[in-house]
Structure 1
């Protein structure tokens, strides 16, 4: 992607950031909050979309408002890929329900691609996920093109499998790659 000049003649910047658990998707917060400014020294870039404080993984930042809109507006169908650790082992019926769409309080979700996966080769979470000895867990890969508030967590809960850990691995053409939590890369 060639950088396009902005009105202020600045080239387009795209920052890939591996957002750690318990970090806000903003540059300022209350005293003691972990925020983007703690990790990213690049000025005049803004998050294109959000990840909840308790979610991890790929966050895109840019200084290009049109690109930011293209990334976040559901009409542009930017696919997002999540790796999700859920409680218990979802049945084929639960997977099919996630794929077909789940009724949430704010409406039906669009169809998604959902599959069981092996545990991804990712960093340990700090603090660790609370797991119970007698309840197994399972990893899913969920591909969406919409982005309702806390959608993945609400979808898995709606089919009886609460999310324990959520990592966004990809947005459109951009992927997490080998970025460690708190690392960023200007592309």
Structure 2
């Protein structure tokens, strides 16, 4: 890593409003807790959590330019702009912060959508983003309870809540999220 933890924290904090920074702190702590509980690496999980929303408040023009110029998956441009910050954030983590750990980069890249064959790191950061203490949405307490014993059960419930919200708003559902949910159900024998 080219920058110290403290330097990364300072740089990321400066790119978001205080409320989003509070969310990031919650994801950091929750990622550490989930990593300890489920046998992950707390230090690497925390690093992914610090950087997971680094591009969240960038302009859509700036994110779109990176998606196009860096040949990130073009399908992103066909879906909700709320998804864009994750793959753009992974690009930024590598290019601007010198993060070379593929699992950390992938956890950032897939924290909004999930993916088939999520790694332990992917699961930890994605679930931490759903259940950090500042989150308050219908069903979050159920997701937190499920996360006490199973990353997979917690994530399925999280993806279900996202899909239900998108359905209620007549929004398109990103295919990776459906695929991730189905894969997790299959992993659990369903």
TM-score category, normalised to shorter length: under 0.3
TM-score by length of 2: 0.26
TM-score by length of 1: 0.26
Report the structure, 1 or 2, having the larger strand content: 1
| Relative contact order higher in (CA < 8 Å, ≥ 6 apart) | 1
Structure number with larger C-alpha Rg: 1
Report the structure, 1 or 2, having the larger helix content: 2
